[in-house]
Structure 1
Amino acid sequence: MTPRAAGTRALTVGIDVGGTNIRASVIDDDGQVLDTVQAPTPHSARALEDALDRSVRDLARRHPISAVGLAVAGFISADRSTVRFAPHLPWQNTPVAQRLTDRLELPVLLEHDANAAMWAEYRFGAAAGGHNVVMVAIGTGIGAALLNDGTLYRGTHGVAPELGHLQVVAQGRSCPCGKRGCLERYCSGTALADTAIELLATDPVHSVLAKEVALDPGSLTGRRVAGAAQDGDPLAVRVMADFARWLGLGLAFVSDIFDPDLVVVAGGVSSSAGLFLDEAREEYARTLTGAGHRPLARIRTTQLGEAAGMIGAADLARAAVAHR
C-alpha cells in the first residue's frame, strides 16, 4: 500500500476504535466523510490489529489513502505512538502505531478520542474560532479535551485532562477508576440511572418511569431516563435537573482553572441537551468564582456528533504527514 499520487485530494482514514465497534472512514481535507466501514471490536490485540488492517485495506481499494489516524479511549503516550492503557481494549503499553505502520506501509498516528473530537470541532465544527476551548464528552463516563490557542493540551505524559475524575463528593459514589465521588458518577449517562434509583429510594414519586423501574430495575438506562424526561415524567425531570446542576458545577470548576472562552458539550448525552443545557448554564454562571464580575464562556453542543473522533484523527494524521 502506497501514499496517494500527486494531484489527488489529501485523503486520510480516521478510525474510532471503540470497545464494541470499529468505525473507519475516509476523510477529505475539508473534514467531509466520503466512505465508512464498520466491524465488531475483537477481544485480543492480534485480532484487533487484523481487523484494523482489513478496514483500512477495504477503504484503500476504493480511495487513495495517505495516512491513518486512530481515535482511542485510553492513555496515549506523549508521542502518540503507544497505547499505555485502554480500559475497553486489549492493548497495554503496546506500540500500536508502529505495528500498523509496518503492516499497512502507511503513516499511522494515535490520538485520545476526546482530543480527536475536539480537534475536529475546532477545525470544522462548533469550536471554530475558539481560542481556549474545553470539550466535555458525556457518554457512559466523561471524556475531556483542552485546546489552548489552537494547540491540544495533552500534559507531560500525554494523559491530560481527566476532568471526569475530579472528586466532587467526598466518599461519594464508587467509580471504576478506584476513587469515590468522581464527577462522572453524577454527570454521565450511567449517572442518570444511578440518580433515578437514589431518588426513588429516598423520595418515591408517582411516575411511569418509577413503575417501570419497580417492575424491572435492570431496564433503567440513561437513554430511558432522557426519553422519559422528554415526555414530562416527574422522576425523570428531577433526574435531569440534578444532572444539569452537576454539569454546571463541573464547568465552573474547569473554568476556575482554565478560563476558557468556549465549552463544547459532546458525547451521546449531548443529543438530549435541550433537557439540561440551559439549567447547566445557569448553575455555571452562579457558581463560577467571581460570578458577575467576569465574562462567561460560551457553551455549545457538538456540530459533528459521533463522527468527530474519526474526522479529528484523520485530520491530525494528515497534518503529521505534511510536517514530516
Structure 2
Amino acid sequence: MPAEELAIGVDIGGTKIAAGLVTPEGKVLGRLRRSTPGHDARAVEATVVELVTLLGARAPRAAVGVGAAGWMDSTGSTVLFSPHLAWRNEPLRARLEDALGRSVMLSNDADAAGWAEHRFGAARGENEMLCLTLGTGIGGAIVLGGKLQRGRFGVAGEFGHQTLVPGGHRCACGNRGCWEQYASGNALGREGRALAGSNSPVAHALRAETNGDASAVTGEMVTRLAEAGDPACSDLVAEAGEWLGLGLANLAAVLDPGIMVIGGGLGSASPTLIEVGEAAYKKALSGRGYRPFAKIARAELGPDAGLVGAADLARLPRG
C-alpha cells in the first residue's frame, strides 16, 4: 500500500483515545490507544499529537481525521462545544495542524461512525441512510445523496434531543422529555435503579447483582441480565425498544432514508432492543401500508467505526 494513499483516523472518547492508519478501503493497518487524560483539553491535544506522530512514521504525508463527541462547525475546523472536554469555540484544527504539519479534519464522533458504515459497513451501497449510536445517550449521522449532512451550522444529527414527552424526564441538554431519556443506556439504568429500589420481588436479579444497592444498577447491567433471560430486565429493554421505534418512525417521516443503521455500545449489546424497536417503528410510521419501510440494520464496524470514518473524511475536499 503506497504511503500516500493512507490516512490517520483518531477517535476521542470520554475514556479512551484510539487512532489507526487506514487504507482507502477502510482497512485498519495499525492501531494505538491511550486513556483520555481527564478533562484537560491541552493534554488531550498532546495525546492526539503523540499518536499521530507515531502512526505517521509509516505515512509522512497522510491526512488526519479527528472525531470527537461535541459540536463541530460546518467547515470542520472549530469545536463549538464538547461535553467531555473544556473546548468552547476552540480552533482545534489549526492547533493540531500547527503541531503536526499535516492537514486535519474535525468531525463529530457519530458523524464519523455513520460515514464509516455508509462507506464500508452496513449501509454500503445505500446513499440515503441514517446511523444511530445508542450508548449513554443517542447520537446520529445523516447521509443523503451520498454526502454527509451536517446542517447549516454543523450540528445536525442530534437525534437524541427530539422531544418525545413534553415535560418528561430532565435531560442533560437542559430540556425535558428528550428521546435519549427513554431509549438509551442512561434510561435503562434509571429505570433499573427505580425497579431495584422498589423492593419488588421481580427485581431480585438486579438486587443480587448489586448486593442490594439499587443505586449501583447500570444500563449495561440491565441489558446483560435481559439478554440472559431475566424477565424484569427483559421488560425494561422491551419498553426502551418501544421508545426506540417511536423515534425511528419520526426520523423516517422527516428524512425518508433507505436504511437506518444502529450501533454504539447499547446497540451492539442488545439485539432484543433493536428487534422490538423495528417492530414498534413499523407500527408507528406514518402512511404505513402505502410506503416502503426503511431497512433496520445493526452496525458492522464496531469500535473501529469512529476512527475509520474520521480517516476517510480526512480524504475529502474541504468545504
What is residue 15 of structure 1 aligned with on the other side? 10
Note the aligned Cα RMSD (angstroms).
1.9
Structure 1 residue 63: Cα displacement = 4.0
Structure 1 residue 293: Cα displacement = 1.6
Tell me, yes or no, if structure 1 residue 82 matches structure 2 residue 78: yes
CA distance in 1, matches of 2:42, 2:34: 15
CA distance in 1, matches of 2:113, 2:19: 14
What is residue 229 of structure 2 aligned with on the other side? 232
Q: More deviation in 195-204 or 166-175?
A: 195-204
1:319 counterpart SS class: coil
Tell me, yes or no, if structure 1 residue 273 matches structure 2 residue 270: yes
What is residue 22 of structure 2 aligned with on the other side? 27
CA distance in 2, matches of 1:47, 1:196: 36
Give the alignment partner of residue 212 of structure 2, picking from 207, 211, 215.
Answer: 215
Structure 1 residue 44: Cα displacement = 2.2
1:265 counterpart SS class: strand
Percent identity of equivalent pairs: 40
Counterpart residue type for residue 45 of structure 1: A
CA distance in 1, matches of 2:282, 2:177: 23
1:206 counterpart SS class: helix
What is residue 171 of structure 2 aligned with on the other side? 175
| Residue pair 1:263, 1:298 contacting (<8 A) in 2 also | yes
Structure 1 residue 138: Cα displacement = 0.3
Tell me, yes or no, if structure 1 residue 105 matches structure 2 residue 67: no
What is residue 3 of structure 1 aligned with on the other side? none
Counterpart residue type for residue 104 of structure 2: V
| Residue pair 1:205, 1:235 contacting (<8 A) in 2 also | no
Superposed, 1:195-206 pairs within 5 Å as: 195-199=191-195, 204-206=200-202
Counterpart residue type for residue 122 of structure 2: A
Structure 1 residue 69: Cα displacement = 0.3
May I ask how many residue pairs the two structures share in their alignment? 317
Over residues 74-126 of structure 1, what are the superposed CA-to-partner deviations in whole Å (9 max), with x where a residue is unaligned?
A: 01011100001001012111111111111111000001111111111111110
2:187 counterpart SS class: helix
CA distance in 2, matches of 1:181, 1:16: 29
Superposed, 1:121-200 pairs within 5 Å as: 121-199=117-195
Structure 1 residue 70: Cα displacement = 0.3
Aligned in 2, Cα 1:275/1:103: closer, same or farther, shift over 3 Å? same
Aligned in 2, Cα 1:287/1:110: closer, same or farther, shift over 3 Å? same
CA distance in 1, matches of 2:199, 2:283: 27
CA distance in 1, matches of 2:289, 2:172: 37
1:130 counterpart SS class: coil
Over residues 303-324 of structure 1, what are the superposed CA-to-partner deviations in whole Å (9 max), with x where a residue is unaligned?
A: 101111100110110223xx79
Aligned in 2, Cα 1:97/1:288: closer, same or farther, shift over 3 Å? same
Superposed, 1:266-305 pairs within 5 Å as: 266-305=263-302
Structure 1 residue 199: Cα displacement = 4.3
CA distance in 2, matches of 1:199, 1:184: 19
CA distance in 2, matches of 1:44, 1:230: 37
Q: Scaled by the length of structure 1, what TM-score is found?
A: 0.93
| Residue pair 2:193, 2:215 contacting (<8 A) in 1 also | no
Counterpart residue type for residue 20 of structure 1: T
Aligned in 2, Cα 1:198/1:7: closer, same or farther, shift over 3 Å? closer
CA distance in 1, matches of 2:9, 2:188: 31
CA distance in 2, matches of 1:319, 1:207: 51
Over residues 265-322 of structure 1, what are the superposed CA-to-partner deviations in whole Å (9 max), with x where a residue is unaligned?
A: 01001123322222211111111111222110000010101111100110110223xx
CA distance in 2, matches of 1:157, 1:244: 31
CA distance in 1, matches of 2:255, 2:302: 24
Gaps of 5+ in 1: 1-5
Aligned in 2, Cα 1:218/1:207: closer, same or farther, shift over 3 Å? closer
1:143 counterpart SS class: strand
Structure 1 residue 45: Cα displacement = 2.5
